[in-house]
Structure 1
Amino acid sequence: MAMTIFHFIYQLLWGDLITIPLPGGSSVGISLLVLILIPSGIYFTIRTRFLPVRLFPDMMKVTIEKKASSQKDSISGLQALIISTATRVGMGNLVGVVAAISAGGAGAVFWMWVTALLGSSTAFVEATLAQLYKEKDPLYGGYRGGPAYYIHHLFIKKDSTRRHSVIAILFAISGLICWCGISQVIGNSVSSAFENAFHIPPLYTTILLVLIAAIIVLRKNATVKVLDIIVPIMAGLYFFVTIFIIAKNITLLPSVFQQIFSEAFGLRQVAAGGFGAVLMNGVKRGLFSNEAGSGSAPCAAAAADINHPVKEGLLQAFGVFIDTIVICSCSAMIMLLTPSALTEGLVGMDLLQEAMRYHLGEFGVIFIAATLWLFSFSTFIGVLFYARSNVAYLFGDNWLSQTLYKVLALIMLFIGGLAAYTFVWDLGDVGIGMMTIFNMIALIPLSRQAIDALKEYERTKKPR
């Protein structure tokens, strides 16, 4: 019975809720989450007057600003961006992009870019709201917040004696479920990659991974310090290796872009009945990768000690750009610059490793395994930072509940490293889907406050 309900929810969130027929026998299957996130992204993009394009220079400027105060244990806006980037940039940026192109062709990349543009506006709104409703964190120091907190303020009046909102509770529980599921997937991804690249038994890789993770996450404030080092290094190395690969194959670049744009709009895809796959694989990969609207990144955004809520909104919008336009595009280029004959019949990590072997020899296989380890490890640390505010909302400010959840996540990480697929892995997908539903319930009615804050921010920028 429980499994039946679980699979029903999974299909409701991620399955094709409606199917639109297209010429040539093609069709577009649209899931509930796509029906919610894409129209919302369009709405927020229009309401912010195309903020991702119009205020892109401001996004860049805010990254170099320091903390607004000297409050102990608080973090800067840039550090909050690094934490959210750690969770956005994960396995989906590597294997997920490869899977989207395998299923939908090169044109999926274009629709991934379009989704990122819309997602940036959504990320701006939710991060700005997280700042507007943040509160001091008595356990870790600095600030905390996120969707559970702004959902609470939407449904619970200030003079009410109620301590919790039902929707906020459901969001917080969904987040904790999601991050446990993700922990299992991370453990398995890392152990599998190292077994393929170095022939190291999964048990050894998993024990080392869990030990290192435990040392970091069970310390009070080690998370931010570690991510400050790991995230810029991993993203920078992956970017520069991709630039090297592009430079080696520079003569093929025009044909790659031609393939992306022609397959994104091509009549051939419509006639062959493949346009729906091109469109929806790009859209779904973009949504799942940048997480805009899911309510994850606002848990980090709320912790930023910054002098204007809009600035953190701009930083999180920039985070979507980093995730999709930069990192996901890197994976796409690595694959599209590889002769298709070499990767025929391969899927997932095997396909990506073969592509890297073609470009960089055995070093490429080792590099991509190490990159996956860094991406996945930083994601695990990042989601446990997110969990802080959700655990606190549900159970109050105490170290026992905080520590128990971390131990549970470490156990999931260990099990995932040793086990083959289990239904628990799908908890990540179901959890993030439910988070998105509950987050969007509050995000749309509260978005006016973020838009008003944006208008006020832009007024203060104008010369008097």
Structure 2
Amino acid sequence: MSTLEDLVVNVNDAFWTYLLVPLVAVAGLYFTLRSRGAQLRLLPDMLRVFTDKSARGVSPFGAFTISAAARIGTGNVAGVATAITLGGPGAVFWMWMMALIGGASAFVESVLAQLYKARGKEPGTFRGGPAYYMERGLGKRWLGVLFAVLITLTFGFVLTAVQSNTIAVAVQGSLDGVDAGWFPPALGVLLAVLLGLAVFFGVKRLAAVTTALVPAMACLYLLLGTVIVVLNADMVPGMLADIVGGAFGFREIAGGAVGTAILQGVRRGMFSNEAGMGSAPNAAAAADTSHPVKQGLVQTFGVYFDTLVVCTMTAFVVLSANPTLGERGGADVTQSAFAGTLGAWGGHALTVIVFMLAFSSMIGNYYYGESNIEFITRSGRVMTGYRAAVLACVALGAIGSVPLVWSLGDITMGAMALVNLLSILPLSVIAFRLLADYQAQRRTGLDPVFTADRIPGLRGVECWEPAGRPADAANADAANAAEEPPPLATDR
């Protein structure tokens, strides 16, 4: 196992160091310059969109609260701890930078997901995501299929194993002294059975219960974390100094070299806020809004809330406990910090929170894969095989080593981000024209409303036809887009 683990970890480090980190930075900076810093400049508009009354379905604020609860998960609890123990406090600074620059990538991908979304099976519902804007915007179905395969591998299999692994680590931390030989496999089988009841056999009540509890668990995590930070308020100035100093090598400590800090900050930042990865657009496409840019603004604000608020709070909690640096840690490090300030009950409370957040994420991960498999094929046999493979990953994730499981997650997540970022770079010109249209309407005092005829030459757009235009005409354009890419896709 050690040989396989070392190989995966080394491949992962090289992949991110020489390819992903430069691409994430260049793409984010390019989007920032082309939009004139829209992710920062339009912060007042992000807050204004929350009061938008034009949506017939879920309101923008309602969509934000749902997505915020969904974002608070293992990336915030275990991912931040991993970044700090491997990259030192300086990794937190680079997580912040990842959020500020990555906010532009999140804006572009979410605007495109809204533009190229499709109507759902139920009236007033929508579906979409990168696979759809790759097919309809770029006219490359094969690229959409490739992305659908990658997101299925990443979320359906690997990140589901990450969630299972995180639950196992947290539960073992609470049950001090439990036999590490039989307990992880038994827990993995139990988690697989529970997930199977929710997704394989159609027991929807279990999924409904976990979904209902997630917002409460997220709020409880924020509340307990805030209490810990307040109780250790005198340490905050020193922690901030360590974060900034470690980011630039001014305070060299074990595992805290600048390169490692940047690498861990970007990786764990993307895992947590998902900016540019291509997963959030699947949810963004489902929103009902009057202009695609509005949902782009909502998703950008979600990136800031996740990283600048929740991850920062977790970082202060972890740093207050003076964790051992240079050795990989995860949920157990955050758990120890909770117990150190609040007492043993704090560690147990975090175990319950992690269990609910991670299990709910496993259900969500499964549906990410299911929806993208349906983009490729409607075969019942393929879907049955997918479900069985997901349950196997849940069981295996509980017994896998932490470095191996997280490194596999990084590789598949990075492959997703690679395909998505390379796809939205040429399509971003359309997103910026949508942004210009939004701002032009705002300058005249209007509540921006978009129809496809406002940008001549658009093709592959199904849900934004002008009033009175037959829906089948829009659908015909969507079908034609698969054969011919839109002129704007290569317009510079």
Under TM normalisation by the shorter chain, which class is it?
Answer: 0.7 to 0.9
Query: How far does the alpha carbon of each residue in 1:390-415 deviate from its partner, in whole angstroms, 9 at most, with x for none?
Result: 1121004x776556534432332233
Change (3 A) 1:410 1:233: same
Change (3 A) 1:421 1:366: closer
The counterpart of 1:119, out of the listed 94, 99, 102, is 102
Q: Which secondary structure state, in structure 2, belongs to the residue aligned with residue 293 of structure 1?
A: coil
Q: How does 1:138-217 map to 2 (within 5 A)?
A: 138=121, 142-156=125-139, 165-179=141-155, 180-198=157-175, 201-202=183-184, 205-217=187-199
Q: Which amino acid counterpart does residue 185 of structure 1 have in structure 2?
A: V
**Contact 2:85–2:327 (Cα < 8 Å) also in 1:** no
Change (3 A) 1:312 1:346: closer
Match of 2:391 in 1: 410
**Contact 1:109–1:282 (Cα < 8 Å) also in 2:** yes
Q: Which secondary structure state, in structure 2, belongs to the residue aligned with residue 30 of structure 1?
A: helix
Match of 1:428 in 2: 409
Q: TM-score, normalised by structure 2?
A: 0.78
1:425, distance to aligned residue in structure 2 (A): 6.7
Change (3 A) 1:213 1:268: closer
Match of 2:486 in 1: none
1:273, distance to aligned residue in structure 2 (A): 8.8
Q: Which amino acid counterpart does residue 41 of structure 1 have in structure 2?
A: G
Match of 2:77 in 1: 94
Q: Which amino acid counterpart does residue 373 of structure 1 have in structure 2?
A: F
1:7, distance to aligned residue in structure 2 (A): 9.6
1:459, distance to aligned residue in structure 2 (A): 2.0
1:459 aligns with 2:440: yes
What is the aligned-residue identity percentage? 36
Match of 2:14 in 1: 16
Which moves more between the two structures, 29-38 or 165-174? 29-38
Whole-angstrom CA distance in 1 between matches of 2:35 and 2:334: 38
Whole-angstrom CA distance in 1 between matches of 2:381 and 2:123: 13
1:366 aligns with 2:343: no
Query: How far does the alpha carbon of each residue in 1:309-364 deviate from its partner, in whole angstroms, 9 at most, with x for none?
Result: 111111111221122112211211011222458x8978333332222221111012
Change (3 A) 1:418 1:267: closer
Change (3 A) 1:225 1:69: farther
Q: Which secondary structure state, in structure 2, belongs to the residue aligned with residue 307 of structure 1?
A: coil
1:352 aligns with 2:329: no
1:431, distance to aligned residue in structure 2 (A): 2.2
Change (3 A) 1:132 1:294: same
Change (3 A) 1:319 1:224: farther
**Contact 1:84–1:382 (Cα < 8 Å) also in 2:** no
Change (3 A) 1:155 1:210: same
The counterpart of 1:46, out of the listed 25, 30, 33, is 33
The counterpart of 2:55, out of the listed 68, 74, 79, is 68
Change (3 A) 1:345 1:142: closer
Corresponding residue pairs, total: 435
Whole-angstrom CA distance in 1 between matches of 2:216 and 2:59: 19
1:302, distance to aligned residue in structure 2 (A): 1.0
The counterpart of 1:232, out of the listed 215, 230, 234, is 215
Match of 2:468 in 1: none
Q: Which amino acid counterpart does residue 238 of structure 1 have in structure 2?
A: Y
Match of 2:358 in 1: 376
Change (3 A) 1:125 1:81: same
Q: After TM superposition, which residue ranges in structure 1, 4 or more long, deviate above 6 angstroms?
A: 6-10, 220-224, 343-346, 421-425
**Contact 1:121–1:317 (Cα < 8 Å) also in 2:** yes
Whole-angstrom CA distance in 2 between matches of 1:274 and 1:123: 28
Whole-angstrom CA distance in 2 between matches of 1:288 and 1:450: 24
Which moves more between the two structures, 377-386 or 324-333? 377-386
Which moves more between the two structures, 216-225 or 361-370? 216-225
Where do 5+ consecutive residues of structure 1 fail to align? 18-28, 157-163
Q: TM-score, normalised by structure 1?
A: 0.82
1:129, distance to aligned residue in structure 2 (A): 0.3
Match of 2:367 in 1: 385
Change (3 A) 1:364 1:109: same
Match of 2:44 in 1: 57
Q: Which amino acid counterpart does residue 442 of structure 2 have in structure 1?
A: K
Change (3 A) 1:80 1:377: farther
**Contact 1:10–1:430 (Cα < 8 Å) also in 2:** no
1:30 aligns with 2:17: yes
1:103, distance to aligned residue in structure 2 (A): 2.5
1:269, distance to aligned residue in structure 2 (A): 3.8
**Contact 2:8–2:404 (Cα < 8 Å) also in 1:** no
Match of 1:450 in 2: 431
1:169, distance to aligned residue in structure 2 (A): 1.3
1:461, distance to aligned residue in structure 2 (A): 2.0
Whole-angstrom CA distance in 1 between matches of 2:249 and 2:401: 39
**Contact 2:242–2:251 (Cα < 8 Å) also in 1:** no
Q: Which amino acid counterpart does residue 455 of structure 1 have in structure 2?
A: A
Whole-angstrom CA distance in 1 between matches of 2:99 and 2:367: 24
Whole-angstrom CA distance in 2 between matches of 1:273 and 1:145: 40
Q: Which secondary structure state, in structure 2, belongs to the residue aligned with residue 277 of structure 1?
A: helix
Change (3 A) 1:306 1:231: farther
Change (3 A) 1:144 1:257: same
Where do 5+ consecutive residues of structure 2 fail to align? 446-492
The counterpart of 1:306, out of the listed 283, 289, 292, is 289
Match of 1:260 in 2: 243
Match of 2:377 in 1: 395
**Contact 2:148–2:373 (Cα < 8 Å) also in 1:** yes
1:435, distance to aligned residue in structure 2 (A): 1.4
